[in-house]
Amino acid sequence: MSSDNPYAPPQAVVQDAPDVALPLPQPHAVTVAVWMLWIEVALSTLSSLIRMGSVRETIAVIAILFGAVLFQGLSALLILKIWQGRNWARITYLVLMLLGILSLIQMAATFPVGVQYVPGIEALLTFIGMTLDLVAMYLLFVPGRAWFRRR
């Protein structure tokens, strides 16, 4: 039915645009932080291998291997989820990192003076790994925080 009325509304179908949020590009700070976390996992794996080579008891080697596989697997899962922008993963990684730092401080405080528990190379790898973790957490929680909030 056509109308000759020039003031009639158009007959086109009108609807609202779908609510689709375009994904924000991953900030450079998040990319750098994730790479730092992967490097820390590699250093931690190297430290575990060194520790396994220094013990003689089979049960100690199995315990170190089990702990390393468990820790590295959990770390890898959390890093992948951080890469995907999951806020819970970065919070979980932060909590686990802080617990690790507290346990190292507690371990260092309970060892007798003069007893060297960690050989020099392991201590160096631990220090570098913790530094990488701390810088990565800064990057994820300060410059990268807006990217995680958008989800």
CB 136 within 8 A of CB 43: no
Quick check: 131 pLDDT over 80?
yes
Choose among 70, 62, 133, 65: nearest CA to 99: 133
Tens of pLDDT, residues 103-119 = 888 877 776 655 555 56
Quick check: 126 pLDDT over 60?
yes
Kindly state the DSSP code that residue 83 receives in the 8-state scheme. Answer: H
Instruction: Fill in the amino acid letter for 122.
Output: E
- Domain boundaries along the sequence of the chain: 28-149
Tens of pLDDT, residues 76-109 = 999 999 999 999 999 999 999 999 888 888 877 7
User: Exposed e or buried b for every residue in 29-52, given b needs 16+ CB within 10 A?
Assistant: bbebbbebbbebbebbbebbeebe
